[in-house]
Structure 1
Amino acid sequence: MKLSDLTARARRIRLVLTDCDGVLTDGGVYYSERGEEMKRFNIRDGMGVERLRNHGILTGIMTGEMSPSVRTRAAKLRIEELHLGIKDKPTCLHEILARTGLTAEEVAFIGDDTNDVEILGLVGLSACPGDATSFARAVADFHCQTAGGHGCFRELAEFIIAAQAVNE
């Protein structure tokens, strides 16, 4: 897709949704001897959430996991849409659209694997981390250079902010 087409799509975005594992994290999972799961998040991605909020763009996490660490991270970042344990991401997207009055063209989604492929095809701007699977890369509009867990969400956020600044 041409940069001018990507920029036009990015100008319409009012909500950025993200998968968690492999996007906000590097896909690694840590367990202590007590079995508690921990995830590593990138601070720059958190700044991406804040910058989007400051530009009037909502954010959300949509993940199949039920991890308490994701809930904690979302609360710290004041993420507006948190959807844990989601196995059917397209249905969740349609519920969000119905509740918020947004259209699919006003939503961006960034995902990295096969469980994200369907929703990547439904939104106005789809993206994937630089190290996404070939399945996600094949359908995503915007391919981040940055890997999952290393600032790819921030890269997408900055692209959207810059595209919308052209309209100001």
Structure 2
Amino acid sequence: MPETHLPNLTPDILARAAKIRLAVFDVDGTLTDGRLWYAEDGHEIKVFHVHDGLGLKRLQAHDVQVALITARISHPVALRAEELDIAHVYQGQVDKRACLQELLDALHLQPEQVAFTGDDLPDLAPMRMAGLAVAVANAHPWIAEQAHWQTRQRGGEGAAREVCDLILLAQGKGDAERERWQ
């Protein structure tokens, strides 16, 4: 039964999401709104959405591993990943596809067991490799047309939470999650 906050849940999307054991997210433009903020002293500032964080924690609670693969290196990303107990954090990755392949090999997973969520050209190769490729609502059009599914929310504004909700729903854990909080 499709959730009203999750658009376009076809049988194919639900079948793909049901197989996911690893959910991988780009950071800039996916977990953040894509803007780069610098303080007067030159330190980078990032804003993360609390809904996304809870979604990532709930995936982990249901034995779906979470990873971040980003081309940039940022201390706020390391802090957020630590706060969310995300063990697989790869910063400074120019070749995200190669990084994802190494991670799949290390975790003994197949490509159809991974979801990759992104927003721009560096995310295209790992998305093509993933069993479930997701573009955030404000992804570049070239990325959106290659995705299996696109979120309703924009990057940094709850898009990752939609991906988490989709996976939990497809794996039959959505109702249990809802009841847990009542």
Distance 2:166 2:9 in 1: 14
Secondary structure of the equivalent of 2:145? Answer: helix
Deviations for 1:23-80, whole angstroms, at most 9, x for unmatched residues? 1000111111111110000000000111101111000100001100000000000012
Distance 2:39 2:63 in 1: 39
Distance 1:83 1:31 in 2: 22
Distance 2:160 2:104 in 1: 21
Consecutive aligned runs of 4 or more in structure 1 exceeding 2 Å deviation = none
One of 65, 82, 86 as aligned partner of 2:89: 82
Residue type matched to 2:125 in 1? E
Identity %, equivalent residues: 37
One of 21, 29, 32 as aligned partner of 2:28: 21
Distance 2:80 2:24 in 1: 15
Mark the runs of 5 or more structure 1 residues left unpaired by the alignment: none
Secondary structure of the equivalent of 1:165? Answer: coil
Mark the runs of 5 or more structure 2 residues left unpaired by the alignment: 1-7, 177-182
Distance 1:162 1:39 in 2: 29
TM-score, with length taken from structure 2: 0.89
1:109 aligns with 2:111: no
TM-score, with length taken from structure 1: 0.96
Residue type matched to 1:112 in 2? D
One of 51, 63, 73 as aligned partner of 1:56: 63
One of 10, 14, 22 as aligned partner of 1:3: 10
Residue 179 (structure 2) aligns with: none
The number of aligned residues is: 167
Residue type matched to 2:105 in 1? A
Cα RMSD for the two superposed structures: 1.4
